[in-house]
């Protein structure tokens, strides 16, 4: 019997920049580098105002086990360390560097010496690499596996299922040798026996290129997957490649898999080969307001305004600007927001693209349920949230929602279902914390 496919939706691709090789924008006048560009504890600054820094110099150390160091993306002088508002709504310290325009490389940079798994994991820590597909999970933590026999497959995520975004596409086409080198490193130091390059079938050039790269390799294969959103979701990808379901509350490793973004993999190989930490990022710049859409290589911390200017500015006034794609992207308040480690796209949407359709009453059609990749019941969650029924929200398992937005996209009444799910998750978390505090007080 054929394997059942997880649900999803067919979104417009709008891959306008897929055939455009990434171009380096050069050196910005100023960068603002937040200490929290990853899941986990913010990094701790190692520099102060007035210090001179060089490209690749470590300017912040890890703030805990789940954390990542930060490196200077330009050479110049530290102007100040100030609190900035990040996409999560929190304020975190950020190091502001005024560039000297020279892009002088740190003299201490050199390729790491790797002889065993511990050396490899230390190199990953030193590189500052995090998940570059959007989540931003510190890579050294993800690949710290005590029992290597648990890893039945590493799935390299090249799905890139969001509309507009093509930065991973360019990694596979522009830097396939680095992708292959990264895969070999995982084979060597994590003893991985099976590596699957998972790519949507709307990227035939990428599929052909990676098949060519894998032809002489042992234990590497390419999976051509139907173009369906959210194909790149971790749990969806695991199910569609190895047929495993990640248990609720568990990690992909509990299903025998590790999922790693293709650009993350290439960045690992780049650091091992050259010793240059993560200081630049390939970003897709697109949207109806952008004059010349491009894939741009930008120093981390570069203001969005500078990147849009490199793309010849705007042909229309942008009505909404996003980090990421239109399905899961986060709107920004202004164009001073910096390029982050995990920024794969910035979109400037014109009035027509940004305009929200009017919301009407739920017609009980069930489409949100039929298209949810995790088989949740968004309409029921919305009703429970509106009546503030936290126990019902927990029973409806709102906490496993991946916030992909399929429910809102497919809803004919244009209900803000994914937004409600986010609010409901926060409500459940607050309820559980209060409950735990109450129980602890009793004890």
378: Cα within 13 Å, side-chain hemisphere: 32
Per-residue pLDDT band for 1 (boundaries 50, 70, 90) equals very low
**pTM of the predicted model, to two decimals?**
0.94
pLDDT at 71 over 60: yes
Residues 174, 213 contacting (CB under 8 angstroms): no
> How far is it, in rounded angstroms, from Cα 65 to Cα 47?
21
Among the listed residues 344, 406, 12, 327, the one whose alpha carbon sits nearest the alpha carbon of residue 169: 344
Distance CA 348, CA 290 (A): 6
pLDDT score for 6: 77
pLDDT band, residue 4 (cuts 50/70/90): low
Does position 54 have pLDDT exceeding 80, yes or no? yes
pLDDT band at 386 (very low <50, low <70, confident <90, very high): very high
The arithmetic mean of pLDDT across residues 353-372, rounded, is 95
Q: What is the pLDDT of residue 249?
A: 86
Residue-level pLDDT at 440: 85
Per-residue pLDDT band for 322 (boundaries 50, 70, 90) equals: very high
pLDDT per residue over 165-188, tens digit each?
A: 999 999 999 999 999 999 999 999
Averaged pLDDT score across all residues of the chain: 95
Distance between CA 321 and CA 24 in Å, rounded? 22
Per-residue CA distances from 228 to 5, 204, 366, 417 (Å): 11, 15, 19, 20
Q: Give the residue, 386 or 249, on which the prediction is more confident.
A: 386
Tally Cβ neighbours within 10 Å of residue 108.
10
Whether residue 430 has pLDDT greater than 80: yes
Distance CA 266, CA 281 (A): 12
Query: How would you class 352 by CB atoms within 10 Å of its CB: exposed for 0-12, middle for 13-18, buried for 19 or more?
Result: exposed
pLDDT at residue 435, as a whole number: 85
Give the rounded percent of residues in the chain with a pLDDT score beyond 90: 92
3 has a pLDDT exceeding 70: no
| pLDDT per position as a tens digit, 345-354 | 999 999 999 9
pLDDT band for 2, please (50, 70, 90 cuts). very low
Bond into 230 cis (ω within 30): yes
Residue 214 has pLDDT above 50, yes or no: yes
- For 85-95, the pLDDT digits (tens) are 887 778 899 99
pLDDT on residue 90: 83
């Amino acid at each position: 019997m054929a394997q059942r496919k997880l649900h999803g939706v067919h979104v417009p691709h709008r891959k306008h920049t897929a055939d455009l090789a990434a171009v380096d924008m050069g050196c910005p006048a100023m960068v603002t580098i937040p200490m929290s560009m990853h899941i986990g504890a913010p990094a701790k600054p190692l520099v102060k105002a007035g210090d001179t820094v060089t490209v690749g110099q470590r300017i912040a150390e890890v703030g805990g086990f789940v954390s990542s160091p930060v490196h200077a993306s330009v050479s110049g002088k530290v102007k100040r360390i100030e609190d900035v508002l990040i996409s999560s709504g929190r304020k975190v310290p950020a190091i502001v560097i005024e560039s000297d325009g020279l892009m002088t490389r740190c003299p201490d940079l050199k390729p790491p010496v790797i002889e065993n798994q511990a050396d490899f994991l230390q190199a990953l820590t030193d590189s500052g690499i995090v998940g570059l597909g959007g989540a931003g999970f510190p890579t050294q933590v993800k690949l710290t596996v005590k029992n290597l026999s648990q890893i039945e497959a590493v799935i390299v995520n090249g799905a890139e299922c969001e509309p507009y975004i093509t930065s991973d596409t360019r990694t596979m086409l522009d830097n396939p040798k680095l992708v292959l080198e990264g895969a070999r490193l995982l084979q060597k130091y994590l003893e991985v026996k099976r590596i699957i390059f998972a790519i949507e079938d709307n990227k035939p050039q990428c599929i052909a290129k990676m098949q060519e790269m894998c032809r002489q390799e042992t234990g590497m294969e390419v999976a051509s997957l139907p173009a369906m959103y959210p194909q790149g979701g971790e749990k969806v990808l695991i199910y569609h490649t190895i047929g495993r379901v990640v248990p609720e509350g568990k990690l992909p490793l509990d299903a025998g898999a590790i999922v790693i973004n293709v650009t993350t993999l290439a960045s690992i190989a780049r650091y091992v080969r050259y010793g240059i930490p993560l200081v630049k990022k390939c970003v897709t710049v697109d949207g109806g307001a952008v004059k010349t859409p491009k894939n741009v290589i930008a120093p981390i911390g570069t203001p969005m305004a500078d990147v849009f200017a490199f793309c010849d500015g705007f042909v229309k006034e942008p009505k909404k600007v996003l980090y990421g794609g239109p399905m899961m992207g986060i709107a920004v308040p202004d164009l001073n927001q910096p390029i982050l480690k995990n920024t794969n796209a910035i979109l400037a949407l014109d009035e027509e693209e940004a305009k929200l359709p009017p919301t009407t009453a739920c017609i009980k059609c069930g489409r949100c349920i039929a298209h949810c990749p995790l088989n949740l019941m968004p309409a029921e969650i919305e009703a429970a949230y509106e009546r503030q029924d936290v126990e019902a929200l927990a029973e409806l398992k709102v906490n496993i929602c991946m916030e992909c937005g399929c429910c809102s996209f497919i809803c004919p009444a244009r209900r803000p279902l994914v937004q409600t799910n986010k609010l409901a998750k926060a409500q459940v978390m607050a309820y559980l914390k209060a409950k735990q505090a109450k129980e602890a007080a009793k004890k």
